[in-house]
């Protein structure tokens, strides 16, 4: 394009303005002249017949007069526009605007940015395109003009602008940038004061930001606007959001203040948000599973969603599975029902269901001495009735509902079967069943598998697999824990020590002293919580697998099958079974056809430290002999 002094800048949104470089182009004052220029510029490289233009801009004049008006308008444009012949190609029967002429058009720039939104391949690129489109839109198209063609295009552009604002708000909310999202939400309502879904979005953002009173005020503003302009009440979804705000516990606003920000989990958080929107939009239950190794941040991710929902007044219930030695049948269900006691889900249940639920909550019989205790459950139909009673109790709770079970892999078979029953019991129920499982505890025949397969077959399943953090995310998390940025050397050492496991990062940085030298010196020490977690994982192994872990730890981080077999006194079939167990438990990872490596070096160190001195000497001699042979 030519230099900035030789460019025609056309502004049509918000107000009509022409500039040649930095100089305003004046004397184009009449609406018909401005409208004609806008029409030609918005339809470049299209030969427009004079007859069509005359009828479009002077429809109330007879043909001769309208053609005369057109001829005068074109003459005036050619006189006013600098170097007009670059822009206007005027023929005997047609008039054409040349797109190759040096000019800018705000509507075209807006349209280009809107088009880039749909082709953006990443959230960051989409955000840039959305913000460019929003900034280009400085107001409605020619707001003081009322030609029919302008009205239609004005509404199209305006709707595109509103869509961009809505997408921008959604993107910022997903990124948990609630302050910035509030700005765009208010901008959306300023452009369309009757946009009811935007009021709901603003209410949600205000509650997520801790401004519940502001969210309540927004509801009243919405109600007044709808009543004043349309003589209608807010819709049922808007009233539901309002009721949740009024009934939400006051403590929900500050529950997450002591947690460190969620780092490196953008994709996982977006997947959780999508799952929740499916529950609301499709009005159906959904089972979502968060998978990953111990310490990877499964519970932390779930807590973020629980806090996010609770701040909006959505009922959230938490329960945890326990190791088999401490597990009780239907333990998570009992924990949910006791946690929801303030909502009194059982108060309106029929006695036949209360009697069944008293199997799980025997305290009900203390409150209702007139209720006969249930008999033994020996028949299949009795189990079915018990399952139905529990489902009725859950569905007495306000919806939408978020149910979370941590360490789902430890739930008993009966509980897992009831979860399957619950997901099918009421097809239109709006609840999300969220579970977190340790990947190392799973096997192909785990009792949880039928629940996953059944919900997947019914299109009610979503899964999130958490990976270890990248070095940049480790540095960001460490900065939040330490209260200051780490230098490059500390970041590199911390990443090497933790290998990107978030729990290890938090605990190691949290265990540092207050002085920089002390922090660096204590880097390699294992905090108690990390040590206990690693010891727990090793303790859950079979005796043969545990012994083999000690031998492998003596060899080093990586080793071959042949070296391990030579140093071990176990038969190869036993050795192979133990290695399969270690790989399934994520203690080891396969490397190629016949090599293995510890999944984390801290596991190897912990296994080595658990060996007695005598055992270390014995294994060291075996490894030395195997290497020498």
What percent of the chain stands above pLDDT 90? Answer: 70
pLDDT for 253: 45
Helix (H, G, I), strand (E, B) or coil at 557: coil
Of residues 472, 616, 589, 603, the one with CA closest to residue 526: 603
Angle between helices 528-539 and 601-609 (to 10 degrees): 80
pLDDT digits (tens, 9 = 90+) for 281-324: 999 999 999 999 999 999 999 999 999 999 898 999 999 988 76
* Per-residue pLDDT reduced to its tens digit, 135-172: 999 999 999 998 889 999 999 999 999 999 999 999 99
pLDDT score, position 371? 86
Query: Distance (Å, rounded) from C-alpha 386 to C-alpha 334?
Result: 13
**pLDDT tens-digit series, residues 394-410:** 999 999 999 999 999 99
Element (H, E) at 597: strand 595-598
Q: How confident is the model at residue 51 (pLDDT cuts 50, 70, 90)?
A: very high
Give the Cα separation of 415 and 387 in Å (integer).
10
Rg, C-alpha atoms of the chain: 34
For 511-539, the pLDDT digits (tens) are: 875 444 444 445 557 888 898 889 989 99
Least-confidence region, from 159-163, 370-374, 405-409, 577-581: 370-374
Helix/strand/coil percentages in the chain, nearest 5: 60, 10, 30
Phi and psi dihedrals of 293, rounded to 5?
A: -75, 165
Residue 517 pLDDT = 42
146-178 CB burial, b ≥16 within 10 A, e <16: ebeebeebbeebbebbbebbbbbbbbbbbbeeb
Can you tell me the distance from the alpha carbon of 545 to that of 582, in angstroms, rounded to the nearest whole number? 7
Q: Is 89 helix (H, G, I), strand (E, B) or coil?
A: strand
pTM: 0.80
pLDDT score, position 258: 56
For residues 116 and 108, the answer to whether their CB atoms sit within 8 Å is no
Q: Is the peptide bond before 400 cis (omega within 30 degrees of 0)?
A: yes
464 is written with which tokens?
A: 């999130």
């Amino acid at each position: 394009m030519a230099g900035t002094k030789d460019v025609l800048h056309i502004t049509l949104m918000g107000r009509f303005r022409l500039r040649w470089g930095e100089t305003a182009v004046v004397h184009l004052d009449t609406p018909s002249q401005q409208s004609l220029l806008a029409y030609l510029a918005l339809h470049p490289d299209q030969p427009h017949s004079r007859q069509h233009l005359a009828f479009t801009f002077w429809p109330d004049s007879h043909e001769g007069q309208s053609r005369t008006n057109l001829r005068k308008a074109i003459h005036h444009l050619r006189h006013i526009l600098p170097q007009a012949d670059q822009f206007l190609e005027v023929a005997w029967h047609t008039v054409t605007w040349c797109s190759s002429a040096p000019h800018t058009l705000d509507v075209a720039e807006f349209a280009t940015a809107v088009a880039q939104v749909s082709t953006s391949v990443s959230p960051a690129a989409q955000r840039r395109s959305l913000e460019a489109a929003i900034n280009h839109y400085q107001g409605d198209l020619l707001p003081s003009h009322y030609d029919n063609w302008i009205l239609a295009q004005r509404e199209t552009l305006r709707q595109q602008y509103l869509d961009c604002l809505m997408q921008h708000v959604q993107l910022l909310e997903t990124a948990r940038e609630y302050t910035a999202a509030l700005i765009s939400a208010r901008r959306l309502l300023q452009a369309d004061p009757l946009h009811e879904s935007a009021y709901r979005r603003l209410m949600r953002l205000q509650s997520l930001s801790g401004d519940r009173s502001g969210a309540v005020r927004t509801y009243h503003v919405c109600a007044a606007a709808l009543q004043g302009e349309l003589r209608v009440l807010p819709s049922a979804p808007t009233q539901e959001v309002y009721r949740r705000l009024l009934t939400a516990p006051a403590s929900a606003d500050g529950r997450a203040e002591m947690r460190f920000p969620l780092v490196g989990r953008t994709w996982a958080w977006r997947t959780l948000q999508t799952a929740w929107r499916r529950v609301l939009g499709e009005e159906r239950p959904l089972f979502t599973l968060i998978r990953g190794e111990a310490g990877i941040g499964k519970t932390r991710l779930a807590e973020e969603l629980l806090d996010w929902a609770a701040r909006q007044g959505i009922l959230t219930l938490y329960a945890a599975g326990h190791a088999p030695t401490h597990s009780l049948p239907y333990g998570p269900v009992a924990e949910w029902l006791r946690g929801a006691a303030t909502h009194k889900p059982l108060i309106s249940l029929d006695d036949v269901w209360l009697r069944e639920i008293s199997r799980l909550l025997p305290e009900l019989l203390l409150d209702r001495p007139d209720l006969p205790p249930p008999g033994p459950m020996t028949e299949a139909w009795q189990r079915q009735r018990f399952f139905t009673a529990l489902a009725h109790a859950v569905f007495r709770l306000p919806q939408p509902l978020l149910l979370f079970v941590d360490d789902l892999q430890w739930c008993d078979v009966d509980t897992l079967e009831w979860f399957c029953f619950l997901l099918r019991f009421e097809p239109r129920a709006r609840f999300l069943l969220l579970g977190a499982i340790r990947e190392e505890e799973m096997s192909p025949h785990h009792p949880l598998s039928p629940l996953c397969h059944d919900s997947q077959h019914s299109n009610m399943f979503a899964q999130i697999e958490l990976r270890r953090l990248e070095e940049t995310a480790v540095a960001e998390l460490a900065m939040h824990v330490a209260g200051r940025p780490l230098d490059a050397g500390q970041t590199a050492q911390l990443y090497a020590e933790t290998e990107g496991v978030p729990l290890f990062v938090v605990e190691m940085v949290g265990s540092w002293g207050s002085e920089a030298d002390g922090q660096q010196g204590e880097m390699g020490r294992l905090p108690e919580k990390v040590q206990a977690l690693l010891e727990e994982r090793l303790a859950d192994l079979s005796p043969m697998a545990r012994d083999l872990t000690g031998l492998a730890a003596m060899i080093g981080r990586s080793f071959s099958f042949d070296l391990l077999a030579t140093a071990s006194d176990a038969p190869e079939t036993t050795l192979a079974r133990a290695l399969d167990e270690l790989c399934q438990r994520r203690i080891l990872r396969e490397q190629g056809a016949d090599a293995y490596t510890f999944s984390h070096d801290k596991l190897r160190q912990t296994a080595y430290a658990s060996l007695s001195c005598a055992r270390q000497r014995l294994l060291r001699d075996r490894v030395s002999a195997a290497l020498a042979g």
